[in-house]
Chain A
Amino acid sequence: MEPTLENIRAMVAELTLSHNEESVPIDKNLIRDGILDSYSFVELISNIEQRFGIQIADEELIDANLGNVEKLTAFIRRKTGK
């Protein structure tokens, strides 16, 4: 899987109640804006680590890296070099 905005948005949508990608604005904060709760958020981190074969360190768990779909996509691209 390529770390594209569409793919990451779909991964977030999988974890929402509606499973609807339309309900996941790419620039809204995943937790603060209520898209995911903290349990779904950790599921997302786990899924990302597995699918992209990366490890997200504790100090990387910050808003600038993971706050919304756009930031998350850019972060995975940096980690995977894609």
Chain B
Amino acid sequence: MAHVGVFPGQGSQFSGLGRELESYGEVPRRVLDRAVEVLGPEIRDVMFEEGSSRLFDGYWSGLAVTVASIALWESYGGKAEMKALAGYSVGQFAALYAAGALSFTDTLNIVASRGRLLRHAAGASRSVMIGVIGLPLAKLEQVLREFPQAQISNFNAPGNYSVGCAKEESRALLSAIDLAGAIKAVELPVEGAWHSHFMTAAKEAFGPHVSVLTLNRPAVPVYSNVTATAPADGEWKTHLVEHVSKPVLWQETILNMGRAGFRSYVEFSMRPQLASFIKFTDRSSRIVQSVEKADE
């Protein structure tokens, strides 16, 4: 059966994930050791410390999630059944690694560069992200007409979106979204409005880092967040640059995969993050977590 492998983004990390990862056996342990060789010993500290605040900093969480995703992928017995791949935001780099398009070292180094640039841009942009659950898109768009700086940054699933906005307008926007009838609207614990125009400076600075990458042809189609389709040969680098300041089209990605006949997903994460987005978008889909099958 044809399955899709999906890789989560920031938000799927949790305190002590390194310890849990190691409990899955020799393969994840080797991946952690290799990550230390590339990034230095601090990545290990961040992933193993209980209650580490660094784990909730975008730079470190992006790296921790990438190392964990790769470790789970390498431990997984059914790689050959994966006929397509997709990652959510920073998860796209792990997806390209899994497709054989990026080397291990390049994957970690490019995620580190991206994290540094985003951290810098976030500080300068004075922007925040608001998560919205239970509001139809048309109603959200209607609310946003009153907030010209705000922009939908993540189309996760029907009724499930994130919005990037300026810090000073976030309280008014939260109230307006509540008033429009959302089940829940909350400011997300991230440093800036990722995937929106607030990150334009980071996108421009990221270009030179991506241009020198060695990017091989993916072994299976890898769907991009920017277009919700698998880019043609030679186009992935443009997508990697653009995704920094363009919305994540996750719902459309799942719909397009459904149209291509995909209904079965394996999420390479220790905690489900994409499973609810996928199930909300395609209720006939089936999603399992890779660790249920990880080699011991």
Residues of A within 8 A of B (CB): 29-32, 38-39, 41-43, 45-46, 49, 58-59, 61-64, 66-67
Cβ contact within 8 Å between A46 and B184: no
Complexed CA–CA distance, A32 and B133 (Å):
10
Complexed CA–CA distance, A38 and B185 (Å):
12
Complexed CA–CA distance, A29 and B182 (Å):
11
**What are 23 A-B interface contacts by the 8 Å CB criterion?**
A31-B133, A31-B134, A32-B183, A38-B133, A39-B272, A39-B275, A39-B279, A41-B276, A42-B276, A42-B279, A45-B280, A46-B279, A58-B137, A61-B135, A61-B158, A62-B136, A62-B139, A62-B159, A62-B181, A63-B181, A66-B134, A67-B134, A67-B183
Given the complex, which residues of B lie within 8 Å of A49, measured CB to CB? Answer: 283
Cβ contact within 8 Å between A62 and B276: no
Cβ contact within 8 Å between A42 and B134: no
CB proximity of B42 to chain A, nearest CB, Å = 31
Given the complex, which residues of A lie within 8 Å of B260, measured CB to CB? Answer: none
Cβ contact within 8 Å between A58 and B276: no
3 tightest Cβ-Cβ pairs between the two chains A and B: A61-B159, A58-B158, A39-B276
Complexed CA–CA distance, A67 and B157 (Å):
18
Complexed CA–CA distance, A81 and B135 (Å):
25
Q: Which residue of B lies closest to A60 (CB)?
A: B136
Complexed CA–CA distance, A43 and B286 (Å):
12
Of A30, A42, A45, A62, the contact of B182 (CB 8 Å cutoff) = A62
Given the complex, which residues of B lie within 8 Å of A59, measured CB to CB? Answer: 136, 138
Complexed CA–CA distance, A45 and B282 (Å):
12
Q: Which residue of A lies closest to B185 (CB)?
A: A32
Scoring A61, A64, A66 by chain B CB atoms within 10 A of each residue's CB, the highest score goes to A61
Q: Which residue of A lies closest to B138 (CB)?
A: A59
B160 contacts the other chain (Cβ, under 8 Å)? yes
Complexed CA–CA distance, A38 and B136 (Å):
16
Complexed CA–CA distance, A30 and B158 (Å):
18
